[in-house]
Amino acid sequence: MARRKSLVVVTGVGGRLGQLLARRLHRQEDMEVAGIDRRAFPRKPADVEHFRIDIRRKAAEDLFRTRQVDVIFHLGLMHDPRQGSGEHHTWNIRGTQQILEFAHRYGVPKVVILSTGDVYGPAGDNPAFITEDAPLLGAQRFAALRDLIAVDMTAQSWFWKHPEIETVVLRPAHILGATHNAVSNYLRLPRPPVLMGFDPMMQVIHEEDVVAALLAAATPGIRGVFNVVGPDALPLRTLIEVTGKQPLELPHVVLPAVVNRLFQMRFSEFPAAELDYLRYAATLDGARAREILRFKHHYGVREAVAAALRRDIFDGAVEGPRKKARPRASVRVG
Amino acid sequence: MPRRTLQDRYARFQKIGLQAATQLQAFVGAEQERPLWKQLSEEAGEAAQDMAALLLSGTWRTPDDEVDRRIEQLLQGQHLGEFGVDPFGYAPESLRVMVPVMDFMLRLWFRAECFDLQRVPAGRVLLIANHSGQLPFDGAVIASAMLLEHEPPRMPRTMVEKFATALPAFGNLVYRSGSVTGLPDNCRRLLENDECVLVFPEGARGISKPFRERYRMTAFGHGFMRLALETNTPIVPIAVVGAEEQTINMFDFKSLARILHTPSLAITPLMPLIGPLAMLPSPVKYRIYFGEPLKFEGDPNDDEAIIAPKVAEVKNAIQAMMDRGLRERRGYFV
């Protein structure tokens, strides 16, 4: 008589981290994995179910209604500020609200939400170790982050609204890997731009380490907010040195205006507010995750950078299976 | 009307000049019986001779093997990441290139004389000093003395105003040389790592005060005392005598400072002639007095009324050393 396999739902399973997480989960004997994502899941393992639906739709509810879900990993957040801002906003906030609502309605005991370390935001007066209690000021200069902060807050409100659900919020440092996020894209530039006279401390983490943290967060009994930090922080220019590239030194006085214009004209992938990341540090304190999650990173800075620079394996939302990765238009900044 | 002769004009200029000199002397404060200009020119001559002798003999430079030994000793006590940088951005190796500048400031330009430098104990310690001189050369000179003259060498971790750490180039320089943004959390972590932390409790108030208020300390912040109580750290009071006269702040151009987003904007006598260069310090002689370590006990979260007398004790110790320094010195430049 076999025990019921536990059912794990992964939202945003078509994204790089979703795929990695699903692959890790499906190898475990006692687990069934169901993914929700509008995007495709190329080279999907056969025993992973994939529902190509929008989590905001009624159809998503059926999954929770008909089957007993044990863990939800909510990775289906849009981080890309180039998506239309209205869509971005409702997707992230309503999507998260919906997931939490399902968890409450259908008695899911555990929800793990992958927020981001960006919620704190870079600033000249940040402490060198930002703890989980720090105010979420990420949107003070970078308005596109508002919805990600709202998501984080919504999840936090669940701690006291529904104490019966173990809600975990993870806030990882800059994730490096074969994915399209701001910092990985930045390091792939032929000459990553830096601001003259500024060399802030940066924290990067390998994508596999983030997956390991997600799995650790699913341990029964774990709840709360955790910063997820990889190897020791290092100066931005040293990070670029690790890639073997030459930084492009730009004056910080005129740059924001130029970059903003380029962004508006869609010549650059970086809104000017992101320049703050090249100027000020936002380094997290990972002590809580080390103590409570027993999370320890496995990959160093060099491995994380290598993972970001290895481009052949993944290219965002590839339509259809087995399609060869298209090289995306290279980014032109400055 | 007879035409004015050349002699008349000369006499008139002389009179105006004399009046100006008298007024300047009144402004500067006529403590001495000798005319100020005479005293200053004598002192300048003596200082120039001293500097020339130091330059010719080369004794102002720390020998290379001595620098190596000191940096080596610094590295031993420090937990650094893979890339030789600590989480605050401190890179002891980068001090090597700064040693010549430190030598220049410490031994040649300010000819700093340190009294009882060895009173700074091993282990965690808070250095509390008066702040003066418009630009923070006092901090740089104390740090240089601790690195180049104290045994064993120590690099004080200076708590720097967040305005300054956010400046291009300067911010970078201070981070790499061990300074941190002046936040209680940063200070607490450094003390827990048994570091030597340098704090100027007067902050921007103290450094930017006008010339007529020299050697009158402004109000001390109480934060350092709470941190000392919390981390059980001894306090070494430090009085810097001489720095007050390095840059003469005639008045603080507050409205312009607000426009430029600086805490203050000192107008110095030479500013109409040489502009911002007038902010550079004149080669005054520094006298730095290190007091006996003070130990305090009590609840770090006590009322201000209970913390205040403890802070006053430190301030009084600094005041006593400052009075001694003012009594002992022969002049501003010698």
Average pLDDT of the segment spanning A137-151: 84
Put simply, the answer to whether A198 touches B168 (Cβ < 8 Å) is yes
What residues in A contact B172, CB-CB < 8 Å? 197-199
Q: Is the pLDDT of residue A147 over 90?
A: no
Element (H, E) at A72: strand A71-74
> Looking at chain B, which residue has its C-alpha nearest residue A235?
B89
Of the candidates B43, B63, B201, the one whose C-alpha atom is nearest the C-alpha of residue B111 is B43
Averaged pLDDT, A44-69: 88
Token digits for B95?
């001090």
Q: What burial letters (b/e) apply to A67-79, b meaning 16+ CB within 10 Å? A: eebbbbbbbbbbb
Contact A235 B165 (CB under 8 A): no
The three-state DSSP-derived secondary structure of B8-37 is HHHHHHHHHHHHHHHHHHHHHCCCCCCCHH
Q: Does A249 touch chain B (CB under 8 A)?
A: no
Do B171 and A234 make contact, defined as CB atoms within 8 angstroms? no
Contacts with A313 (C-beta within 8 Å, 6 or more apart), sequence order: A178, A325
pLDDT(A326) > 70: no
Q: Name the residue ranges covered by the structural domains of chain B.
A: 34-246+281-328
CB–CB of A128 and B180 under 8 A? yes
Q: How much is the pTM?
A: 0.86
CATH architecture of the domain with residue range B34-246+281-328:
3-Layer(aba) Sandwich (3.40)
Whether the per-residue pLDDT at A328 is higher than 70: the answer is no
Q: Does B158 touch chain A (CB under 8 A)?
A: no
B169 contacts in A (CB within 8 Å)?
196-197
Supply the DSSP symbol for A324. P
Which pLDDT score is estimated for B28? 65
Residue partners of B178: CB distance under 8 A and separation at least 6: B88, B90, B92, B95, B143, B155, B156, B157, B158
User: Which of A136-140, A270-274, A316-320 bottoms out in mean pLDDT, i.e. has the lowest?
Assistant: A316-320
Between CA B245 and CA B333 the distance in angstroms is: 9
For residue A157, give the H/E element and its range: helix A146-161
Q: Which pLDDT score is estimated for A82?
A: 63
Q: Which helix (H) or strand (E) holds A35?
A: strand A31-36
* A195/B168 Cβ within 8 A: yes
Element (H, E) at A90: helix A85-105
Chain B residues touching residue A234 (CB < 8 angstroms): 81-83, 85
Over 50: is that where the pLDDT of A329 sits? no
Query: What pLDDT, on the 0 to 100 scale, is given for residue B3?
Result: 65
* A252 lies within 8 A of chain B by CB: yes
Q: Which residues of A touch B171 (CB under 8 A)?
A: 124, 197-198
Chain-chain contact of B87 with A232 (C-beta, under 8 angstroms): yes
**B260 touching A (Cβ < 8 Å):** no
Nearest to B186 among A127, A199, A252 (CB): A127
Q: Pull the structure tokens for residue A27.
A: 């190898």
The verdict on B185 touching A (C-beta cutoff 8 Å) is: yes
Residue A112 pLDDT: 96
Search chain B and give the residue with CA nearest A123: B166
Band (pLDDT 50/70/90 cuts) for residue A84 is low
Can you give the pLDDT at residue B1? 55
Q: Which CATH number fits domain A6-179+204-229+283-299: 3.30.70.100, 3.30.420.40, 3.40.50.720, 3.40.50.740?
A: 3.40.50.720
What is the pLDDT, as a whole number, of residue A283? 95
The β-bridge relationship of strands B266-267 and B251-252 is: antiparallel
The residue-averaged pLDDT of A85-95 equals 82
Judged by average pLDDT, the poorest of A164-168, A250-254, B22-26 is B22-26
Between these two residues, A59 and A23, which has the higher pLDDT value? A23
| SS3 per residue for chain B | CCCCCHHHHHHHHHHHHHHHHHHHHHHHCCCCCCCHHHHHHHHHHHHHHHHHHHHHHCCCCCCHHHHHHHHHHHHHCCCCCCCCCCCCCCCHHHHHHHHHHHHHHHHHHCCCEEECHHHCCCCCEEEEECCCCCCCHHHHHHHHHHHHCCCCCCCCEEEECHHHHCCCCHHHHHHHCCCEECCHHHHHHHHHCCCEEEECCCHHHHHCCCHHHCCCCCCCCCHHHHHHHHHCCCEEEEEEECHHHCCCCCEECHHHHHHHCCCCCEECCCHHHHHHHHHCCCCCCCEEEECCCECCCCCCCCCHHHHHHHHHHHHHHHHHHHHHHHHHCCCCCC
Best A129, A237, A276 member to test B by mutation, with max B CBs in 10 Å, is A129
Q: Which residue of B has its CA nearest to A276?
A: B166
Q: Which of A281-285, A306-310, B260-264 has the highest mean pLDDT?
A: A281-285
Angstrom distance (rounded) from CA A232 to CA B12: 71
| Cross-chain Cβ contact A238/B87 below 8 Å | no
Check residue A260 and give its pLDDT: 73
Please report the pLDDT score of residue A323 as a whole number.
39
| Beta carbons of B87 and A252 less than 8 Å apart | no
Cβ atoms of B307 and B226 closer than 8 Å: yes
Average pLDDT over residues A185-193: 89
Q: Mean pLDDT by 10-residue block, N- to C-terminus, for chain B (334 residues)?
A: 69 76 68 74 90 91 94 88 92 93 94 95 96 93 96 94 84 91 95 96 90 92 96 97 90 83 83 85 94 95 94 96 93 88
Is the CB of A236 inside 8 Å of chain B's CB atoms?
no
pLDDT of residue A2: 53
Domain extents in chain A: 6-179+204-229+283-299
